[in-house]
Chains A and B, each alone.
Chain A
Amino acid sequence: MYLRRYFPVFCLLFLVILVQVGLTALKLEFYMTQLTMSAYYTLVALGLTLLMGYAGQVSMGHGGFFAIGGYAAAVLATVGFASWVSLPAAILITGLVALLIGIPVLRLRGHYLAMATLAFGIIVLRILLGTNLFGGADGLSDIPAFRLFAGLAITGRKALRVQNYYIAWGLVLVGLLTGINLVHSRVGRALRAIHGNEDAAAAMGVDVARFKLATFVLSALYAGVGGACLAFFNGGIGPGEAGVMKSVRYVALVAAGGMGSLWGTLAVSTALTFLSLRGAFGVYDDAVFGAILVGIMLFAPEGVFSLLARRNRPGNAQ
């Protein structure tokens, strides 16, 4: 049982190593930069999968948490705090904001929750744009590298590209592992029960409000880690990360991946984010994600992979 659960994780690790070795051998190492960035964006999508797919709560403002993580790290690092203080502090701040927002907002459901989280994201965006400390429309740049130890650092310097690729994907693997463990635990069952029928879940002893809030904060932490690390990696961060388009993108990725599928989200997110970063969609970047949202929800609400499954099984599902 455990083998079946964790075997794909080993496969992913193997794949990550294989890709790196391959790219280095083919002298195509510059792809690693975008792969590293994709990893950090994928972290957000993974956290959102737990929230939307398992607890069943929608969030149209997760870009806001990504931005809070990134900006907090950037400001603290620029002001002079050592990076081993800035990063954890940034993550903590993101978690605190999620806690404060989550307590009132998670009492809402459906449309109201969607709008409330959308409003949250826009509020973060406006505050970032309107405050000098955060660099206004230009954002922050010249963020010093995040030095770990023995020469290991999160930074955009080309010489450390391979290192950073492994750091980023290492974080994704950790996020994936904790997500998988959570999903298969009593907590994961409780979340799915909440998603299925809140009143029945409560009658079975599940503290619905606490579980929703904890999942919300956890998913925000995933986003905050992604944001903070990306800020260090890129050496900068812009207010666009809190924008509606970014937040909606994460939702699109989770929906396309199958709503409640960590692996589905991982695959879709890595692929689409990488393509988007490489400019494959050109000026139609946002339009593509909008189309994905509509297309998936209309034709494949269980995610793209369900379309493949449907074709392989001519009869009804079991």
Chain B
Amino acid sequence: MRATQLLQYLLAGIATGSVYAVVAIGFTVVYNATGIINFAQGEFLMLGGMIAISLAPVMPLPAAIAVAVLATGAAGVLLQIVFLSWLKNPAVLRMIIITIGLSILVREAGLHIWDEKVHALPFFSGDETSSLAVLGARISPQVLWVLVISACMVVGLTLFFRSTLLGKAMRACASNPTAARLCGIRASTVVTLSFFLAAAMGALAGCAVSPLTQTQYDMGSSLAVKGFTCAVLGGLGSVPAAVAAGLVVGVLETASVSVLPLAYKDVVALGILLLILVLKPQGLFARRPVAQARAGG
């Protein structure tokens, strides 16, 4: 394989992988705050993309995206408050089934509010024919947009957790909810905020990637499974690990096209998931075991 071809795969893989990474981060943030795996995580990307697509004809693109991000964040909060907040120490199985049910409802809402067709946001810069030369490979500028936006989100989130009071409060809550409560940190605020962050980031990623991979009402479930793969690979506890895992899975999946028929591309990520779960469920960067679910905080 020529070097430029390799580079092309690498860049495309990193772009795909950064989307998976964002989904993985969404899982991780919510899991750390609540102990829940929110199966509906993938749907936030669909919602963000669809809302932005509907708004794009009537306002400038950045505004449409901003509104979509906020609206999806609000949807995430709504989901948490309406369906999850009043459950007290629910059984794990119950939570799994509820969030899967919620992901179906969001997906079906997407189907009925919009339609079953494929849509796409306009390219952020240029159009579908533009390409940039990067070290000899040619990629669409949108790929760079995806990378930059994802990187900004990861950096922003890390800074938020490290340096702001609210972020530190969230980390405290994740590591020791009782002690955190005794310090005056309201668990319910932390939980709601975590859902907002996960949903908003998902929406932004969904918008960024929409021109490249298109947006469709049922894109959520395979994104969720793949994103979960990366979250598990990263040990379900740490954001940087989830990112690293996302990039690895993205690149592997893209590269697999050169050895497997295109139709089996999805099977790669899923196969990796099964392998990880079976061999090393604590992930490659393991930290802590899976804790009890705390739905409402």
Please say whether the chains A and B touch (CB closer than 8 A).
Answer: yes
B288 interface residue, CB < 8 Å from A?
Answer: no
List residues of A (21-56) whose CB comes within 8 Å of B's CBs.
52, 56
A126 interface residue, CB < 8 Å from B?
Answer: yes
Bound Cα distance from A131 to B93, whole angstroms: 34
Known contacts A104-B278, A123-B271, A301 near B94 by CB under 8 Å: yes
Interface residues on B, range: 35 or more
The 8 Å CB contact of A115, one of B87, B101, B273, is B273
Known contacts A115-B277, A116-B277, A118-B225, A297 near B112 by CB under 8 Å: no
Q: Which residues of A contact B277 (CB under 8 A)?
A: 105, 108, 112, 115-116
The 8 Å CB contact of A126, one of B96, B102, B263, is B263
Q: Which residues of B contact A118 (CB under 8 A)?
A: 225
Stretch in contact with the other chain, from A138-146, A171-179, A245-253: A245-253
Nearest-neighbour CB distance to chain B for A159, whole angstroms, equals 38
Bound Cα distance from A248 to B101, whole angstroms: 8
With CB as the reference atom, state the residue of chain B lying closest to A58: B93
With CB as the reference atom, state the residue of chain B lying closest to A101: B274
Tally A-B pairs: CB < 8 A. 118
With CB as the reference atom, state the residue of chain A lying closest to B260: A130
Task: Digitize B72-99: 1 where CB-to-A-CB distance is under 8 Å, 0 elsewhere.
Answer: 0000000000010001000011101110
From DSSP, what is the main secondary structure of chain B's interface residues? helix
Assess the B263–A130 pair: CB atoms within 8 A.
yes
B221 interface residue, CB < 8 Å from A?
Answer: yes
B233 interface residue, CB < 8 Å from A?
Answer: no
Bound Cα distance from A273 to B193, whole angstroms: 39
Bound Cα distance from A119 to B262, whole angstroms: 18
Nearest-neighbour CB distance to chain B for A58, whole angstroms, equals 6
A202 interface residue, CB < 8 Å from B?
Answer: no
B4 interface residue, CB < 8 Å from A?
Answer: no
Bound Cα distance from A127 to B271, whole angstroms: 12
A278 interface residue, CB < 8 Å from B?
Answer: no
- Listed in ascending order, the chain A residues whose CB lies under 8 Å from chain B are 52, 56, 58, 60, 104-105, 107-112, 114-116, 118-120, 122-123, 126-127, 129-131, 244-245, 248, 251-252, 255, 283-284, 286-287, 289-294, 297-298, 301
- Listed in ascending order, the chain B residues whose CB lies under 8 Å from chain A are 37, 83, 87, 92-94, 96-98, 100-105, 107-109, 111-112, 221-222, 225, 228, 232, 261-264, 266-267, 270-271, 273-274, 277-278, 281, 290
Beyond the given A112-B232, A119-B270, A293-B98, please list 16 additional residue pairs across the A-B interface where CB-CB is below 8 A: A105-B277, A108-B277, A111-B37, A111-B96, A112-B290, A115-B232, A119-B225, A123-B270, A248-B100, A286-B108, A289-B104, A291-B105, A293-B100, A294-B102, A297-B94, A298-B83
Nearest first, the 3 A-B pairs at minimum CB distance are A130-B263, A290-B104, A293-B101
